Amino acid sequence: MRLIDQDGNQLGIMSAKEAYKIALERHIDLVKIAPQANPPVCKLMDFGKYRYEQSKKEKESKKKQKVINIKEIRMTPAIEEHDFGVKVKSAMKFLKDGDKVKVTIRFRGREASHTNLAEELLNRFAKSLEEYGNVEKAPNMEGRNLMMILAPKNV
């Protein structure tokens, strides 16, 4: 097997017993890096320290990730103007915080026959928030609900 020391220097090709003896002398671990290679490649390293450093790198990369939540705003097609403004303000806050916003219009009874009014309402909602977010998913019907998803612009 080919042996590599802790600094990355090649120690040459030797038997497994010789490599193991060197590892015992230096009080470190013998780790197979590429067992399918010809000859197999092994490295002398402190495996516990290596695993610790890997976990530290993993934790550091997880810290840098930002979790994007989806906030939902529900309305009815017959929403009043002031209520509409309140919903727009809350959606604006969500988009500023970097969250996606799912806008849902729920239909009850005969309201379902007026989907065109609800689509106009969603388009007006998107237009009032266009400086804070983009329409990620255009309005579409899902059962008795008309939905649209807005994503923040800075993401």
Report the pLDDT averaged over residues 15-21.
90
Average pLDDT in the chain: 90
**Token pair 């000859």: residue:** 39
pLDDT tens profile 37-91: 888 999 999 989 989 999 999 998 888 777 778 999 999 999 999 999 999 999 9
Domain range 70-152, its CATH number among 3.40.50.300, 3.30.110.10, 3.40.50.360, 3.40.1160.10: 3.30.110.10
Q: What is the pTM of this model?
A: 0.58
As a whole-number percent, the residues of the chain with pLDDT over 70 amount to 99
pLDDT of residue 56: 93
Closest CA relative to residue 120, chosen from 70, 73, 79, 154: 79
Cα separation, 133 vs 40, whole angstroms = 54
pLDDT of residue 37: 87
Domain boundaries, the chain: 2-62, 70-152
pLDDT of residue 92: 94
Helix or strand run (H / E) with residue 32? strand 29-34
Report the pLDDT averaged over residues 108-127.
90
CATH number belonging to domain 2-62 = 3.10.20.80
The residue type at 105: I
